[in-house]
Amino acid sequence: MVETNSENPAKEFMSTLPGDDVRQIMWRFADRYDIQMAVQSARSLARGVVARLVAEGARSSHEWNDKKAQLLTGMDEMGLTTVFMDPDEGGFIDGPKNLALALVAFELSWVDAGAATCSLASNLALSPIHEKGTPEQRHEYMSRCVPPLPGEDRKPWRGAFALTEPLPYVGVDTGILSGRMRVKEWEEGKEPILQVEKRGRFITNMGFANFVTAAVDSDDPRIKGSAMVILEEGDPGVFDRGATTLKLVHQLSSTTDPILNLTVPASRIIGGYTVKEGVIIPNVNHSDMIEAVFRRTRAPVAVMSSAKLLSAIEPVIRYQRTRFRGGAASSAGSPRYDLGLQQKEDALQRLVDIWASGEAGASLGFAAVRLFDEFDPIEREKERVLGERGIKGGRAQMKLFKEMEKSVLEYLDLAHRPEGERDEARLAELASDPLVQFLIRDSQANVLCPACKLWNTGQAATMMREAVSLMGGYGITEDCPGFLGQKWTDAQLEATYEGPEAVQRRQLSITMTNEIFLAQFRQWIKDLRGIAGRRPESGACTLASAMELWLFTLGYLQKAKDADGKPLYHSQRHGVVFPFSDALCWLLASRQQILDMLELEEKGPGNPLLAEGLAGFVNFFSDLCHVQAARAAGEVGRICAELVYGYNRHPDWCRDAMEICFQGEQLDALECIIPGIAGYAKDTVEADGTHASKAGPCPTESLETFKLLRHRLDICLTGAHLAKDRAATAIANVMIPEALDYPA
Ligand SMILES: Cc1cc2nc3c(=O)[nH]c(=O)nc-3n(C[C@H](O)[C@H](O)[C@H](O)COP(=O)(O)OP(=O)(O)OC[C@H]3O[C@@H](n4cnc5c(N)ncnc54)[C@H](O)[C@@H]3O)c2cc1C
């Protein structure tokens, strides 16, 4: 479809909703047939068994039951249980599987997030074993969880991950464990036998789990520190699944408060142990274990929430279009009949916002899991190199990494200089250093993972409410098409489990100031300026300006003090660092959304099935990018302004500030100030690899610069609402199927 008028050049709209061809390119699995197979399997389970369970009311009970158990057999039959396993353990995907697992979670969550959680929780239970277990533990438990092959007579095992404890113990703070392990028997020359006690709270899969990976602390001078331990259903002692959690959400997953008190051999300590002077020392403590686990498992949860937003689009369009059909004033072919509620600008534009937000979240979440796919082998290589050098982690590792920061920054600098203007030999040397490559990915992962968990889930909970509201009263009924009401409330659990928002903000407030991350962030701003030159309508310019404002504000906050002389940027000062972390998330999501749109534009022509409609999709996604970038810029501007001005006291400071601001009012000043900003924001590595001075402008200059940056940001919103209008028109014109494909 092509719309032309004298003011707008020809602008092709998309004719259908984006399908697999588009998504495979945007989320980078067009050449992964193994992953495409997993996606198809998950989709058919979601839109078949899962959708029927929801439609038949299976969510109305808290208890795990035979009906819900169809999910487990369904996952086994569709091959989803084995997506987590390597081929030699019975799986079918070779290499890292973070993207594959996230896509499975996306498909299941498209219909019901509880079903997705049920799938993810077994992998979560296996994750400590997968990440840090001994080769024997890994082989044993991964193989047991694989469904039986034809001719085999055994049941696949399911697991639960037990960290959270009854109040007042483990929740957000995971340090103080009440779970305990003691030596029960230890005969000379034999394996020690442990007594392990663990009470859990809100433990997923507990209604049917055959084993539990439990975090416990030592209660015995013969055991040092904490660990995670594997507890099995058949171990001697108490394996009480406990009271069922009376959840309001995710009722297709099982959650209980188990009571476990079991006797197990010390070989169940995940990652093994060493004995030194009669003391058992677990090789991996529970904190390191959960860090390794959560940094991977949180990103698929983020993707789940975004799936729900995107799944809301089709049901809302259908509802809006058909809203007035059949009324006395509506006859086929009339705008009222054909467009229904889509005649109303607000109804359409709110849907644009929901769609843009879902796209941004999906882009950020999938970027995070792809990063982990890339990171997994690099991390293993890092461990090998450190092992060779006799560095076991802890302080020695931190010291080495601190020393290496200079080389990493040098590499990042060289990598972005034009060929011919850089030392190629040095670049090649640094490029082949596994530790340099590790530190770059690590700095990104330490930001992207908490960012997507925080932003996608929290933002989805807010935007799902918008989606529900667009369905009117139907939105808050159980039979709302697309189950939107359930998806809304479910989103709050995704924002809570595996660490609520405070946990992610806490992590971000530390990791986002890492110089290696910031050096990349500065480069991303430059890249976006380049993109803006080629594709001004993508919102890249808006985003780059918002990123500059954020970066400048970070420098300001790190130096500034409040009206009482207390430093502003401090990890315990949540009022500053938490909203500032949120601001970063808006930027990261928007950036990734733009990159995915560009990927579609670049790779789309290679797919003959897409060739015809590609321009329409690229135009539409570009408009959504612009809408989202403007929204992100608004949030970032607001948050930064609140933090910069909000810690000063009325009235004197305010009067001074006004004076400064009005002096710098001329727009011409923007031109003068931008080179200054570029200088401030440019890579801070000198030719000899040392850091340039990080001393920022004096407070007066800072304030003026801040004001100009903010002003420029406002101007950079140019065209954002035109993009929203175009996106709304595209939605009003897009073809949708006659009926939703679930429940079948
Ligand atoms: C349905 C469901 C399934 C779950 N599945 C599992 C599972 O399989 N395994 C498992 O181990 N756990 C599981 N959990 C537990 C979940 O991970 C925890 O509920 C979550 O981590 C929060 O802990 P909490 O409920 O104790 O909240 P609290 O620790 O009490 O925190 C409540 C709120 O207080 C604030 N807060 C707390 N501490 C801080 C701080 N240091 N700084 C700033 N703010 C803070 C935050 O706003 C936080 O959201 C599940 C929970 C539910 C509801």
pLDDT in tens, 485-507: 999 999 999 999 999 999 999 99
Question: Ligand 1: does its nearest atom lie under 6 Å from the Cβ of 164?
Answer: yes
Distance 171 CA to ligand 1 centre (A): 4
- Confidence (pTM): 0.93
Kindly list the distances between the CA atom of residue 589 and the CA atoms of 200, 357, 367, 453, in Å, as whole numbers in the listed order: 34, 9, 9, 11
679 vs 552, more confident: 552
- Is the shortest distance between the CB of 247 and ligand 1 below 6 Å? yes
Average pLDDT over residues 581-588: 98
Count the Cβ atoms, other than its own, within 10 Å of residue 440: 21
Mean pLDDT over 602-619 rounds to 94
For the CA of 245, the nearest atom of ligand 1: 1
- β-pair partners for 181: 196, 218
Q: First-to-last CA distance in the chain?
A: 31
> Is the CB of 166 within 6 Å of ligand 1?
no
pLDDT-derived band of residue 624, with 50, 70 and 90 as boundaries?
very high
Q: Is the pLDDT of residue 665 over 70?
A: no
Q: Which residue among 202, 245, 577 has the greatest number of ligand 1 atoms within 8 angstroms of its CB, and so is best to mutate?
A: 202
Nearest atom, ligand 1, residue 167 CA: 26
Please list the alpha-helical segments (H only) found in 187-334: 286-311, 313-322
Virtual torsion, Cα 631, 635, 638, 644, nearest 10 deg: -140
pLDDT for residue 673 is more than 80:
no
Atom of ligand 1 nearest to the CA of 574: 43
**Residue 369 Cα to ligand 1 middle (Å):** 23
pLDDT at 659: 59
Residue whose CB lies within 8 A of the most ligand 1 atoms, among 119, 124, 164, 297, for a mutation test: 164
- In angstroms, the CA 545 to CA 665 distance is 18
Range 34-39 contact pairs with CB under 8 angstroms and sequence separation of 24 or more? 34/92, 34/93, 34/94, 34/100, 35/93, 35/99, 35/100, 35/103, 37/79, 37/92, 38/79, 38/80, 38/83, 38/93, 38/100, 38/103, 38/104, 39/103, 39/104, 39/107
Question: Tens digits of per-residue pLDDT, 520-557?
Answer: 999 999 999 999 999 999 999 999 999 999 999 999 99
User: Does ligand 1 have an atom closer than 6 angstroms to the CB of 203?
Assistant: yes
The pLDDT value recorded for residue 331 is 82
What is the Å distance from ligand 1's center to 732 Cα?
A: 41
Quote the ligand 1 centre to 174 CA distance (angstroms): 9
Which residue's CA lies nearest to atom 32 of ligand 1?
172
CB neighbours of 110 closer than 8 A, spacing ≥ 6?
A: 43, 46, 47, 307, 308, 310, 311
- Looking at residue 435, its pLDDT comes to 97
Which ligand 1 atom lies nearest to the CA of residue 204? 8
Q: Which atom of ligand 1 is nearest to the CA of 163?
A: 11
The whole-number pLDDT of residue 230 equals: 98
What's the whole-number average pLDDT of the chain? Answer: 92
Cβ 176 under 6 angstroms from ligand 1: no
For residue 55, the CA-to-ligand 1 centroid distance in Å is 30
Q: Supply the residue whose CA is at minimum distance from atom 19 of ligand 1.
A: 497
What mean pLDDT comes out for the span 355-376? 97
Q: Is 670's pLDDT higher than 90?
A: no
Contact indicator for 446, 511 with CB cutoff of 8 Å: yes
Is the pLDDT at 575 greater than 60? The verdict is yes
Report how far ligand 1's centroid is from the alpha carbon of 289 (Å): 18
* Residue 338: per-residue pLDDT: 87
Cβ–ligand 1 contact at 184 (below 6 Å):
no
161 CB near ligand 1 (under 6 Å): yes
Yes or no: say if 5 and 737 are a contact pair by the CB < 8 Å rule: no
Q: Structure tokens of 151?
A: 């001719």
CB 573 less than 6 A from any atom of ligand 1: no
Measure 179 CA to ligand 1 centroid, in angstroms: 17
pLDDT at 694 over 60: no
Q: What is the per-residue pLDDT for 698? A: 43
Read off the pLDDT band of 687 (50, 70, 90). Answer: very low
Could you tell me the distance, in angstroms and rounded to a whole number, from the CA of residue 494 to the centre of ligand 1?
A: 11
> Residue 418 pLDDT more than 60?
yes
Q: Ligand 1, from 490, 497, 578: best to mutate by most atoms within 8 Å of Cβ?
A: 497
Instruction: Report yes or no: 66 and 53 within 8 Å, Cβ to Cβ.
Output: no
pLDDT at 675: 36
The answer, yes or no, to whether any atom of ligand 1 lies below 6 A from the CB of 294, is no
Please state the atom number of ligand 1 nearest to the C-alpha of residue 496.
20
Q: What is the mean pLDDT of residues 671-692?
A: 38
Nearest CA to 290 out of 118, 98, 131, 76 is that of 131
Q: For the chain, give the percent of residues with pLDDT over 70.
A: 91
Give pLDDT, residue 701. 67
pLDDT at 699: 59
| Residue minimizing CA distance to atom 26 of ligand 1 | 171
Indicate whether residue 202 lines ligand 1 (CB < 6 A): yes
| pLDDT reported for residue 651 | 62
Task: Provide mean pLDDT across the span 128-141.
Answer: 96
Atom of ligand 1 nearest to the CA of 160: 8
Tokens representing 315 are 């049901």
